[in-house]
């Protein structure tokens, strides 16, 4: 029975794949039969079991009398039948001609039918070499070894450059080198569409959505991917480029292959990984989606080389959609892409994405976990966040599981907790991470200051709509960040207010440690700050620069090199704070020390005055709480009236008095509280006046 008549048992493949392949393999088998018969006619010892291990004089004479590389090859039968089905698709996608397909099938035959191994071993005159060599493949395809057919195995030829055929034994002469076809190519021709096992963990197939995206940006991306070389660059301006890229490829009828950029950058053999990705994209009739580009660091030689190699490997055979926040540099690749700007998503679209993600997550976590939240409540809970589709999907999964643990629908707090879990650890290495535990009720501030804090939270929630979609901050390289200044004496509640704003937005607070930022070496401070700003732009958090006048100070007249470098540092901060895309809060005790140029770049300026007597009484009540026992004679009103302290000092006094009450084993009385105030005065270096402390002064001294 010939190969053309036999189909392997258990092969479950579409009818359009196997019969066409079997017809072409039958043609290869007939050529192998004829080549074997011709070899046996001139072989003096065809059945020698030790052939290939030694060379007799008769065999040497036969080798010398055999056909040389310049003579025409024997006629091994009619030409191959025309390619159809997957063979025709393969030829079209990889630019193959009929001789290329014949050579490919000759090399692939042992992977489909084991009989070819023995036959090739006999034709190679070496039973240990059971695959086709380049010389044997050329002979079976009717191509002279010294003719142009040998150049079909050059590194730039379609068979080799696209990874369809691998050439082994590079140390041997060209005609003796072994040909091997990767398993993925064989599986594809047999009807298997699974992604190559060698790129597992490097690429995934994006699943089609029930509601395809037909927005104008998606259609523009699809049109750009279908023109020229198919190289498209999505310039991210706060949108979701990964989702739009996959939607565009699906709209164009292509299979989206989403590349894990971090895994590609860390691949031990990037050149091989790039070639396999390009082959997989062409083989499956799909397109590659890769980003964000910043992960590859294309501004570095290694990253630029990797990106350029990927663009060259794809080479117009498949669409390649790249996305990132940086503008395209022509030095990154030999071809320039079509750039499409990705704007922030519409609020209604964001709600639909969250709703779909919660529905999918709820199906796995529990029947009621992802339901029960109205669209308005969902929009309010997620409006301040900037997440892509993958982060929304993961956050929805975490929120649904949190709700399922308690057997209830997802609540806004579950969403906030889940979003915070998506923040990477990069910023935590550069700043101190604080998870807010306070709210608006914990603040004791004048009404004007509270309004300014509310305005900051309002801006953070609606910045994508106002600054992005409505373009109220166009041009000049300006970002869509929100920057606020909290000015006031130490202890007036600046840091706590930043924590309250972060809690209201459902975000974490990252406090920058300026001692680890400022460096004595020229230029290192700017590098440290750049790393902080870059990481902060990628997380949903509030960035706090405590004692900001240490780095945001005034520029001065240049008198020496130190002044010049200090001015360079301030100039860098001026332009970087303006292009920042996150939420930043600067605090200072001395507002006059800040450069006036920063004021224009601030969105909110909140002044924190020293609290008055009424506010101090409220602070005493809050700081002492309800758990500590109080003596009947505890006079908080008099303490608030007499002692002008800030909120931070009042908290310190309350803690000191609580320790004294715990040591005495009695309820907290006024004497203990005044003793704590006296200790705080001395710590702050303030004058202790008898007129201020009154009768408690002598009692404290006696104690």
| pLDDT, position 511 | 92
Q: Looking at residues 48-64, what average pLDDT do you find?
A: 60
pLDDT (tens digit per residue) in 436-492 = 989 999 999 999 999 999 999 999 998 888 887 787 876 556 778 899 999 999 999
| pLDDT, position 542 | 94
Counting every residue written for the chain, the total comes to 703
| pLDDT, position 51 | 59
CA gap 293, 262 in Å, rounded: 10
Average per-residue pLDDT for the chain: 83
| pLDDT, position 536 | 87
DSSP state of 553: B
Tell me what percent of the chain is helix, strand and coil, each rounded to the nearest 5: 50, 10, 35
Higher local confidence (pLDDT), 603 or 374: 603
Bridge pairing between strands 286-291 and 255-260: parallel
Task: Let me know: does 507 contact 541? Beta carbons within 8 Å.
Answer: yes
Residue 361 has pLDDT above 80, yes or no: yes
Lowest-pLDDT choice from 112-121, 232-241, 376-385, 594-603: 594-603
Q: What are phi and psi of 568, to 5 degrees?
A: -65, -40
Write down all domains in the chain, each with its CATH number in brackets. 3-189 (no CATH), 197-342 (3.40.50.300), 347-422 (no CATH), 440-608 (3.40.50.300), 613-702 (1.10.8.60)
pTM for this one? 0.75
Residue 210's Cβ-count burial label (10 Å; 0-12, 13-18, 19+) is exposed
Higher local confidence (pLDDT), 632 or 13: 632
Task: Let me know: does 278 contact 313? Beta carbons within 8 Å.
Answer: yes
Residue 605 has pLDDT above 80, yes or no: yes
Lowest-pLDDT choice from 1-15, 17-31, 169-183: 1-15
Residue 3 has pLDDT above 50, yes or no: no
| pLDDT, position 276 | 92
DSSP strands (E only) in 380-513:
431-434, 482-488, 508-512
Lowest-pLDDT choice from 147-161, 228-242, 554-568, 583-597: 554-568
CA gap 627, 623 in Å, rounded: 11
pLDDT interval class at 14 (50, 70, 90): very low
Residue 654 has pLDDT above 80, yes or no: yes
Q: Looking at residues 554-562, what average pLDDT do you find?
A: 53
Residue 541 has pLDDT above 50, yes or no: yes
- Angle between helix axes 389-405 and 412-420 (nearest 10 degrees) is 130
Q: Which helix (H) or strand (E) holds 419?
A: helix 412-420
Tokens of residue 637, six digits: 């009103």
pLDDT (tens digit per residue) in 663-674 = 999 899 988 998
| pLDDT, position 78 | 65
Residue 10 has pLDDT above 70, yes or no: no
Lowest-pLDDT choice from 141-145, 295-299, 580-584: 141-145
pLDDT (tens digit per residue) in 65-114 = 665 555 566 666 666 666 778 888 899 889 899 889 999 999 999 999 88
pLDDT (tens digit per residue) in 493-523 = 999 999 999 999 999 999 987 767 777 777 7
| pLDDT, position 183 | 93
| pLDDT, position 454 | 95
Which segments of 421-560 does DSSP mark as H helices, in order?
A: 447-463, 494-505, 514-517, 524-537
DSSP state of 52: T
pLDDT interval class at 529 (50, 70, 90): confident
| pLDDT, position 527 | 85
| pLDDT, position 577 | 84
Q: Which helix (H) or strand (E) holds 31?
A: helix 18-41
Lowest-pLDDT choice from 135-144, 274-283, 462-471, 503-512: 462-471
Helix, coil or strand: residue 367: coil
pLDDT (tens digit per residue) in 174-207 = 889 999 999 999 999 998 889 998 999 899 998 8
Residue 332 has pLDDT above 50, yes or no: yes
Higher local confidence (pLDDT), 452 or 143: 452
Higher local confidence (pLDDT), 169 or 2: 169
CA gap 114, 700 in Å, rounded: 100
| pLDDT, position 682 | 87
Residue 54 has pLDDT above 60, yes or no: no
| pLDDT, position 46 | 63
C-alpha pair distances (Å), 421 with each of 127, 457, 539: 60, 21, 10
| pLDDT, position 502 | 94
pLDDT interval class at 265 (50, 70, 90): very high
């Amino acid at each position: 029975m010939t190969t053309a008549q036999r189909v392997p048992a258990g092969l479950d493949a579409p009818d359009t794949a196997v019969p066409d392949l079997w017809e072409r393999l039958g043609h290869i088998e007939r050529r192998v039969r004829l080549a074997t018969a011709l070899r046996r006619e001139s072989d003096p010892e065809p059945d020698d079991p030790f052939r290939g291990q030694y060379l007799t004089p008769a065999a040497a004479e036969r080798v010398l009398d055999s056909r040389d590389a310049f003579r025409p090859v024997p006629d091994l039968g009619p030409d191959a039948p025309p390619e159809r089905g997957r063979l025709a698709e393969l030829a079209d996608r990889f630019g193959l001609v009929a001789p290329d397909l014949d050579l490919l099938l000759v090399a692939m035959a042992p992977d489909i039918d084991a009989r070819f191994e023995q036959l090739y071993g006999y034709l190679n005159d070496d039973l240990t070499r059971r695959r086709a060599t380049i010389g044997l493949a050329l002979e079976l395809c009717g191509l002279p070894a010294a003719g142009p057919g040998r150049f079909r195995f050059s590194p730039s030829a379609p068979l080799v450059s696209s990874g369809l055929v691998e050439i082994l034994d590079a140390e041997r002469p060209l005609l003796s080198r072994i040909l091997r076809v990767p398993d993925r190519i064989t599986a594809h021709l047999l009807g298997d569409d699974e992604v190559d096992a060698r790129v597992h963990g490097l690429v995934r197939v994006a699943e089609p959505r029930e509601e395809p995206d037909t927005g104008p940006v998606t259609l523009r991306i699809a049109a750009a991917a279908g023109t020229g070389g198919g190289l498209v660059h999505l310039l991210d301006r706060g949108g979701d480029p990964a989702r739009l890229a996959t939607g565009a490829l699906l709209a164009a009828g292509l299979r989206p292959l989403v590349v894990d950029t971090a895994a590609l950058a860390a691949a031990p053999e990037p050149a091989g990984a790039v070639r396999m990705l390009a082959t997989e994209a062409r083989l499956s009739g799909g397109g590659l989606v890769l980003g964000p580009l910043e992960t590859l660091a294309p501004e570095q030689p290694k990253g630029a080389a990797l990106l350029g190699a990927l663009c060259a490997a794809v080479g117009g055979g498949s669409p390649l959609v790249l996305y990132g926040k940086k503008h395209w540099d022509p030095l990154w690749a030999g071809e320039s892409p079509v750039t499409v700007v990705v704007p922030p998503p519409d609020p209604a679209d964001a709600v639909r994405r969250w709703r779909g993600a919660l529905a999918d997550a709820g199906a796995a976590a529990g029947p009621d976990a992802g339901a029960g939240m109205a669209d308005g409540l969902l929009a309010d809970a997620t409006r301040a966040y900037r997440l892509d589709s993958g982060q929304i999907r993961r956050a929805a999964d975490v929120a649904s599981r949190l709700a399922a643990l308690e057997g209830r629908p997802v609540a806004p707090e579950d969403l906030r907790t889940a979003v915070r879990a998506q923040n990477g650890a990069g910023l935590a290495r550069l700043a101190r991470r604080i998870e807010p535990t306070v709210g608006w009720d914990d603040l004791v501030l004048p009404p004007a200051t509270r309004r300014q804090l509310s305005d900051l939270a309002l801006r953070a929630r609606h910045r994508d709509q106002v600054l992005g979609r409505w373009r109220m901050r166009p041009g000049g390289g300006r970002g869509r960040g929100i920057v606020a200044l909290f000015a006031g004496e130490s202890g007036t509640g600046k840091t706590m207010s930043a924590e309250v704003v972060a809690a209201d937005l459902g975000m974490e607070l990252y406090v920058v440690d300026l001692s680890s930022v400022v460096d004595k070496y020229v230029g290192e401070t700017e590098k440290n700050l750049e790393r902080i700003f870059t990481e902060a732009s990628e997380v949903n958090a509030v960035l706090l620069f405590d004692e900001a006048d240490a780095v945001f100070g005034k520029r001065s007249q240049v008198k020496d090199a130190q002044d010049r470098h200090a001015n360079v540092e301030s100039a860098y901060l001026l332009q970087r704070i303006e292009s920042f895309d996150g939420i930043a809060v600067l605090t200072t005790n001395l507002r006059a020390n800040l450069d006036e140029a920063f004021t224009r770049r601030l969105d909110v300026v909140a002044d924190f005055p020293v609290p008055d007597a009424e506010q101090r009484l409220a602070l005493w009540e809050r700081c002492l709480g309800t758990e500590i026992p109080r003596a009947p004679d505890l006079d908080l009103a008099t303490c608030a009236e007499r002692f002008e302290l800030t909120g931070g000092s009042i908290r310190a006094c309350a803690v000191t008095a609580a320790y004294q009450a715990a040591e005495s084993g009695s309820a907290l009385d006024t004497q203990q509280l005044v003793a704590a105030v006296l200790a705080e005065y001395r710590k702050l270096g303030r004058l202790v006046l008898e007129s201020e402390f009154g009768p408690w002064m002598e009692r404290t001294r006696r104690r």
